[in-house]
Amino acid sequence: MGVQMKLAMKIAAGAGLGALFAAPFFFGPALAQAPAAAPVVPTDAMVNKGDVSWMLVSAALVLMMSVPGLALFYGGLVRTKNMLSVLMQVLTIVCVAGLLWVTIGYSMAFTNGGALNLFVGGFSKALMKGVDANTFAATFSNGVYLPETTFVVFQMTFAMITPALIVGAFAERVKFTPLILFVVAWSILVYYPMAHMVWYWPGPDFTAGLPDDHGYLWGKGALDFAGGTVVHINAGIAGLVGCLVIGKRVGYKSEPMPPHSLTMTMIGASLLWVGWFGFNAGSNLEANKFASLAFINTMVATAAAGAMWAIIEQVVHGKPSLLGAASGVVAGLVAITPAAGFAAPMTSVVLGAVASVGCFFFVTTVKNALKYDDTLDVFGVHCIGGIIGAIGTGVVADPALGGQGFMDFTVIPAVAGKYDMASQLWVQTQGVLTTLALSGGVSLVLFLLLKFTIGIRPSKEVEVEGLDINAHGERAYNY
Amino acid sequence: MGVQMKLAMKIAAGAGLGALFAAPFFFGPALAQAPAAAPVVPTDAMVNKGDVSWMLVSAALVLMMSVPGLALFYGGLVRTKNMLSVLMQVLTIVCVAGLLWVTIGYSMAFTNGGALNLFVGGFSKALMKGVDANTFAATFSNGVYLPETTFVVFQMTFAMITPALIVGAFAERVKFTPLILFVVAWSILVYYPMAHMVWYWPGPDFTAGLPDDHGYLWGKGALDFAGGTVVHINAGIAGLVGCLVIGKRVGYKSEPMPPHSLTMTMIGASLLWVGWFGFNAGSNLEANKFASLAFINTMVATAAAGAMWAIIEQVVHGKPSLLGAASGVVAGLVAITPAAGFAAPMTSVVLGAVASVGCFFFVTTVKNALKYDDTLDVFGVHCIGGIIGAIGTGVVADPALGGQGFMDFTVIPAVAGKYDMASQLWVQTQGVLTTLALSGGVSLVLFLLLKFTIGIRPSKEVEVEGLDINAHGERAYNY
Amino acid sequence: MGVQMKLAMKIAAGAGLGALFAAPFFFGPALAQAPAAAPVVPTDAMVNKGDVSWMLVSAALVLMMSVPGLALFYGGLVRTKNMLSVLMQVLTIVCVAGLLWVTIGYSMAFTNGGALNLFVGGFSKALMKGVDANTFAATFSNGVYLPETTFVVFQMTFAMITPALIVGAFAERVKFTPLILFVVAWSILVYYPMAHMVWYWPGPDFTAGLPDDHGYLWGKGALDFAGGTVVHINAGIAGLVGCLVIGKRVGYKSEPMPPHSLTMTMIGASLLWVGWFGFNAGSNLEANKFASLAFINTMVATAAAGAMWAIIEQVVHGKPSLLGAASGVVAGLVAITPAAGFAAPMTSVVLGAVASVGCFFFVTTVKNALKYDDTLDVFGVHCIGGIIGAIGTGVVADPALGGQGFMDFTVIPAVAGKYDMASQLWVQTQGVLTTLALSGGVSLVLFLLLKFTIGIRPSKEVEVEGLDINAHGERAYNY
Amino acid sequence: MKLIIAIIKPFKLDEVREALTGVGVAGMTVSEVKGFGRQKGQTEIYRGAEYSTNMVPKIKIEVVVGADLADRAVEAIQAAASTGAIGDGKIFVLDVGQAVRIRTGETDETAL
Amino acid sequence: MKLIIAIIKPFKLDEVREALTGVGVAGMTVSEVKGFGRQKGQTEIYRGAEYSTNMVPKIKIEVVVGADLADRAVEAIQAAASTGAIGDGKIFVLDVGQAVRIRTGETDETAL
Amino acid sequence: MKLIIAIIKPFKLDEVREALTGVGVAGMTVSEVKGFGRQKGQTEIYRGAEYSTNMVPKIKIEVVVGADLADRAVEAIQAAASTGAIGDGKIFVLDVGQAVRIRTGETDETAL
Ligand SMILES: Nc1ncnc2c1ncn2[C@@H]1O[C@H](COP(=O)(O)OP(=O)(O)O)[C@@H](O)[C@H]1O
Ligand SMILES: Nc1ncnc2c1ncn2[C@@H]1O[C@H](COP(=O)(O)OP(=O)(O)O)[C@@H](O)[C@H]1O
Ligand SMILES: Nc1ncnc2c1ncn2[C@@H]1O[C@H](COP(=O)(O)OP(=O)(O)O)[C@@H](O)[C@H]1O
């Protein structure tokens, strides 16, 4: 069985293991598959109110990352005439993705998919069937559960923000309805399968009895605390493909396109930072010492990345900019996402700083060299930062560097597994490549399909006059 | 005893029942009224830190709904010259209502009012008398308590935002001091009595012993999880009366009055959404599965309403607008408020969508037909959305539709009551009508009184030049 | 031994005593110093998830106070051309102070400093040495612990915002790099020693065994719930010294310098208010009834101060302003900070109102009389408000006025100490004077050093054209 | 042809525009300006600092008309913009040598 | 000397500026204005309220040139600013009596 | 009457206004404009994108004065606005045919 088998046991780490490893407990059918020996029956008594409090707050924080956080971060960077289009795109995607999640998304991500189970879930919980106040979802600790609705809504906020991230890549030149159609199709064809592949498992009390019931990458033992692959690389590559298919903005590189309000961008970056604690530390699913570790790592990696970007700018052209520091902040947040619960504070600082250097180089040099118009650097920050983080996780998770390693959930209670950095790095790389291939490929097909049917790009006239007035019939400001 | 008696037992639902049913535990005097058999004596040991954590966060979130949330949502929609007046009105109302709450409000809402007990409380806790770190307030679970200060401050935030909602109806044309006087009087004459009628009861451990110690609507068995009547219908009708008494803005319908910053409105709507989880899920008073249910219902009803408004606009005039989606978001939040802990996720989706249709029709068609100038659609969104939600609660709470029904607290521990949709709808209707009558009537008297004494509307000159510079001596922007 | 000895026992109050008294538990070396009798060994089982949830939320809230809260509150008040400089200063300070904290700050504040232990800690935990997911920090209750990373990150947010407060005093006329150097030096020479002097102790389970292991002011029994001295007076006096050394802005008093966006200032003030609950109620370290008390006190003191400032303006020049109310809000928050967990709600109202009067008088009359240019009134609001609060704490903490008094931690479990208002006021005054002397003195030396070496003030040309474009190469707005 | 420059109170813009179209003017150009004159601005107070602005917001209308229409246009503006209060503004008339419609290249009065 | 006032579509600014420097103009002054004319504005809808703006954003260029350069400058503007669509704008030419460069006190054509 | 158009550096506005009132000018109209000329703008950098603005913010003052006052006004402006650095701006003087005070209907010099 070799590596694959060994890795299959290498499931997640340190009792505090991130949404990557989260999965609800299945009543009925799932239980039927469980082997003999009295299985755990999750009850209200296994729910800790401190966990519920923390997870509900985390879900609210992640919503705040999208609206108003991301909307402002992006919106501030476009020109006035397109401000509302960005805000509207983000807000609408949040609404649509939320509805799609309770309709089929949660089921496709977090139920057993039968024959396709390695790659996608089924429809047994479509329309929230069987999910109510009295069902529970597993955490990463034996015998500790959350109300299932808590898990559903927390994961929902991830399914909301991920497609919203994409729009930055082709901001200022996309048609609204086709974009929403893309988001629906991409959620179904890319996001839910990715979430399933990376995050689906039966929970710590059932893994021993159901050793083969998990997604493909989960089975490989890929470590991704809060969504480096599923969220950032996933959205980043989709954005790149989108901006290539759609083409450059009218006037790109020939006319100045300064951000219309860096104040808004700063508010957005700040709220992303604040909300990201829900994203990263919330992915621990419990309010315990590992949530706390994910929290402090998120804090210092971000601080390091923000400071580092400013330092680079100081060195390179003598003027550290607010947009630079804010970009660094986001790059740091992206990079620490997969590593949040695995790293130690000081290795997080290094990871954040490295991500800042990598993303800076990408958005200032590589992008200009390759001449593609990724309006808001979705690829340069989210995909590149995500890759640095995903690979970096293999390094910083190493217990030899103060990392948390991973837990072997095939025994009850779970115990620490034996960490091998080289093989972990290879697994991490496989996670990255899988994401790039799936999301990149499907996005390409979807964008081309839209381009050659209903069209994805507005007319030049509309683009020049601005999307706000043309697509939404409003103006952002009337001072 | 008939219906009344049966309904009196129908007190609230599902162990997680919303602020509607919340009431502090009474030491001393209240206990004196309790029947024999060792009564519960709430102690520190009955307080769960997870609940305290959640409720304090919820209180902070509801404050954030008012400032900056509501202030920005409203402020963005007025013209630049009146921006600060709106911000100042909301901020001042928050301060004044908070002070009034610890002075007499809490006592008038949440103590036994003696002969008037069905309609209003007394003054036994005025100036926080007898409320300190060692008194406790009941939740909806037997034997589970909160520090009383937690309950006082959580409820305070409701008493702050409700009068602040009203100002939107006559924004851009009201005098500051008379407005504050109105808020003080309205809080005393309308809000505290309404809160008492709907939310006052002795708690689950004492209901059996004190079957007649509750407010009027509570006794009827009206279901209102987080304040559809007390907050939204209450404020909405007061706003309508206010805008009718004060009259239309100078230039209404003759000159363009586009929102001065939809960016601010979007930030405001987003923070309202984020904060509303404290409002709705916080109204459960405990961080348990019912809080989680209220949370997810709030999320999806809002998503449905936001998307629905955009869809209607797409159909009606081909351009889905950001203001539309944001208005839908708020309409959905309003409508799910009374139903948050009673509905199921998928029925919440329907309720949100219906509210969006109803409010859209109201603010675009009915308002234009009736030609009143409700500046920011306080009536069209909060009152209409509140009514749809209040009546809709009677539908979605039905266990036959996956709802939570209600709990019978006359036995200990409380058990589920038998749900009858028809009679529940009638009770809900009574709640709506009572609110409309009380708030509408008293507001009319108050506004007329102010109009014919110190005056409620600034001179035409002041209105034309703007309230900011005239009433507050400042300008919002000096770019 | 006299007063000193008695005061040494007067350590903190009411089981819920604020960051002032917080200190992590020390494994190993610290234990070695403990006397016989089986010492407590903190374990995971002594951690309550409700506490962890609350403290992580609190840390996120305090970050939100800095970015975007403080940045916007300050930024809105400067002229457009300097907007980004303020945002950038705050953001960069947050990043740098965070990194410095994990590098040496935490260790210098919260470890035993050997011979210098009264005044500053040592380097035993530099670079987070020995701090990991399995170390724990003491709260104010016997046998109740937090994950140490929780305590580290919560305290980190205090170390971030404090130096950021300073920049308001000389906004619009400071060079960026020298400012950051100042912040680094000031953190090391002033903030960490102050934090150590006021907040370092071995925790309730170890005080009996280590009666002399505490900071200087802690030993005196100074009461400071959440940082009146360490944060506000500390930053306020540094700001004053800075603005005196740097000098007035070009055009001060000769050209109009109205705030460029009071909307931003209002958002900032609101987020400060919301975030301050993490600051004050979080300083209790546990989600219990004392956190709740600190929360409600923070709420009502602020409401009183906000309303009071508006009332004064109404009386003095007939126009209550938004900036006034917002300034009052901040003054109230500052003043209640040291008293938050000691006061009762109604005495908090009084304290807030008094602070508002004091600060109003200072920023409108004293400042104009003394003709110094404290751009954003850091001294007038934070230092003066902080002094009023610090002294006022001695009054409102008196159990005779409904206050919480203090706890005697020299016995286990801790019991209430005997409160003497006169001697407490003297101790409070010593705390104030120590802070003024240390921070004022060191800041003077640092600012002069910078002024006469690399320079601290930009050229007149740069100042006139604005810092944004000159120091950061950006413009805040391109509408 | 004449260039008429009118400085008016902002809230009079709509009335003036209607008055001008009433006398046959087909186009005009409008900008936001600050006026300094007899009319005093409001006093603004920010914490301790008091600013009496001596600049008040005004609207400037620029309209080029044929010489024959000039007098009627001036009268129309004056009638529509007047409130009788200080600060109502001014009208200035200048000679225009040439006018071109960019779209068509038409010149002079046909360009207007 | 001539003062050329050109009202153009905002996105044409860069082309016009280049065209003017092409014919030897060294400086100009630009402002944001609102134009009223044949071109109709977009309809904005805010909840129930519909506003058809009849003011569209335009850019006004003011450039003073020597009399000899005036015609070429006008032509350059017209060529660069034209799209052929309604709303392209106008060019007006006025006489300038005097010009001063503030920095040096130079006057008339050398001041430009 | 003369229309004096002065393009100056923004921070010189107060001094120029005072200089003008010093020579007896009672009113003027001010607007924010962007100037293109010898003075180069600052370079802005946003992530990878560098923009060298060739437009710098300027203030335009328009003031109509009696012919007799014109020279003194021009001198006053020039003296007050001058810093000696590139970009100090220009003054242009045009003839005004007619002036009307809207409030009273007074015309020409009494209207100023
Ligand atoms: N000499 C002038 N040149 C240019 N504009 C002027 C002149 N005098 C006044 N204005 C403009 O006319 C406006 C109104 O003038 P003001 O003296 O306040 O009142 P009135 O028009 O009633 O005399 C001023 O705000 C200014 O914009
Ligand atoms: N008589 C006029 N005086 C001043 N400006 C004018 C005049 N007529 C038109 N304009 C300006 O020219 C712009 C374009 O005019 P418009 O009638 O829309 O189209 P076109 O230039 O194609 O005829 C207008 O928006 C306005 O700014
Ligand atoms: N020919 C011109 N027509 C109109 N405005 C001009 C002209 N030349 C310059 N200006 C204005 O004068 C300003 C200053 O000109 P510039 O060439 O930068 O410096 P200087 O005034 O010192 O020669 C420019 O920014 C522009 O606003």
- B21 pLDDT higher than 90: no
Helix (H, G, I), strand (E, B) or coil at B372: coil
Nearest residue (by CA) to ligand 2, atom 6, is: D28
Q: What is the pLDDT of residues B234-261, one digit of tens each?
A: 999 999 999 999 999 999 998 889 999 9
What are the structure tokens assigned to A179, written together? Answer: 């974009």
Whether the pLDDT of residue A34 is over 70: the answer is no
Apex A452 CA angle, A448 and A456, nearest 5: 75
Q: How many CB pairs under 8 A join E and F?
A: 83
**Amino acid residing at C68:** P
Q: Tell me, in angstroms, the distance from the centre of ligand 2 to residue E52's CA.
A: 18
Residues B58-85 have a mean pLDDT of: 98
Q: Are C295 and B50 inside 8 Å of each other by CB?
A: no
Q: Which residue of D has its CA nearest to E79?
A: D102
Summarised one tens digit per residue, pLDDT across range F59-92 is 999 999 999 999 999 999 999 999 999 999 999 9
Distance from CA of B22 to the nearest CA of A (A): 19
Quote the CA–CA distance of C232 and C335 in Å, as a whole number: 9
Rounded Cα–Cα distance for residues C128 and A345 (Å): 7
Average pLDDT in chain A? 92
Interface contact F2, partner E, CB < 8 A = yes
Sequence letter at residue A109: A
Can you give the pLDDT at residue C227?
Answer: 96
CA C450 to each of CA A311, B174, C168: distance values in angstroms, whole numbers, following the listed order: 20, 52, 18
Q: Which residues are CB-contacts of B137 (< 8 A; sequence separation ≥ 6)? A: B22, B23, B24, B25, B145, B146, B147, B148, B150, B151, B152, B203
Q: How many angstroms separate the alpha carbon of residue D29 from the centre of ligand 2?
A: 7
Subunit contact C132:A402, Cβ cutoff 8 A: yes
Q: How far does residue C463's CA lie from ligand 3's centre (Å)?
A: 23
Confidence check: pLDDT of B13 > 80: no
F16 in Cβ contact with F8 (< 8 Å):
yes
Q: Is the CB of E45 less than 8 angstroms away from the CB of A474?
A: yes
Helix (H, G, I), strand (E, B) or coil at A136: strand
* F4 close to ligand 1 (CB < 6 Angstrom): no
Contact B473, B229 (CB under 8 A): no
- Could you list the beta-strand ranges (E) of A333-416: 407-408, 415-416
Whether D41 lines ligand 1, by a CB cut-off of 6 Å, is no
* Cβ-Cβ contacts under 8 Å, E87 against chain D: 103
Contact D66 CB / ligand 1 (< 6 Å): no
Helix axes of C148-166 and C192-199: crossing angle, nearest 10 degrees: 130
Lowest mean pLDDT among B50-59, B245-254, C22-31, D56-65: C22-31
Asked if E35's CB is within 8 angstroms of D31's CB, the reply is no
Of E74, E82, E93, the CB nearest to D96: E93
E57-102 pLDDT tens trace = 999 999 999 999 999 999 999 999 999 999 999 999 999 999 999 9
Prediction ipTM score: 0.94
pLDDT, position A38: 60
Distance CA E12, CA B83 (A): 34
Ligand 1 lined by F19 (C-beta under 6 Å): no
Question: What's the Cα-to-Cα distance from A331 to each of A65, A306, B126, rounded to whole Å?
Answer: 15, 8, 52
Supply the pLDDT for residue C183.
98
Q: Is B32 exposed, middle or buried (0-12, 13-18, 19+ CB in 10 A)?
A: exposed
Q: Which residues of D touch E91 (CB under 8 A)?
A: 98-100, 102
Amino acid identity of residue C403, one-letter, is: G
What is the tens place of the pLDDT at every residue in A339-393? 999 999 999 999 999 999 999 999 999 999 999 999 999 999 999 999 999 999 9
CA of E91 to the centre of ligand 2 (A): 9
Residue B38 binned pLDDT confidence (cut-offs 50, 70, 90): low
Residue A51 confidence (pLDDT) above 80: yes
The reply to whether ligand 1 has any atom less than 6 angstroms from the CB of F21 is no
CB C263 within 8 A of CB C73: no
Q: Of ligand 3's atoms, which has the minimum distance to the CA of residue E63?
A: 3
Low-confidence ranges of chain C (pLDDT < 50): 1-36
Domains delineated in chain F: 2-111 (3.30.70.120)
**CA-derived radius of gyration, chain D:** 17
- Residue C37's pLDDT is 53
Mean pLDDT value across residues A319-339:
98
Position B385 pLDDT exceeds 70: yes
Rounded to whole angstroms, the Cα distance separating D45 from B345 reads: 51
User: How far apart are the CA of A249 and the centre of ligand 2, in A?
Assistant: 29
Identify all chain B residues contacting A476, using CB atoms and an 8 Å cutoff.
261-263
Give residues 51 to 110 of E whose Cβ lies within 8 Å of F.
62, 64, 94-103, 105
Residue A13 has pLDDT above 70, yes or no: no
pLDDT surpassing 60 at residue A165: yes
Whole-number Cα distances in Å, C146 to A267, A290, A344, C278: 31, 12, 18, 16
A460 min Cα distance to partner chain E (Å) = 12
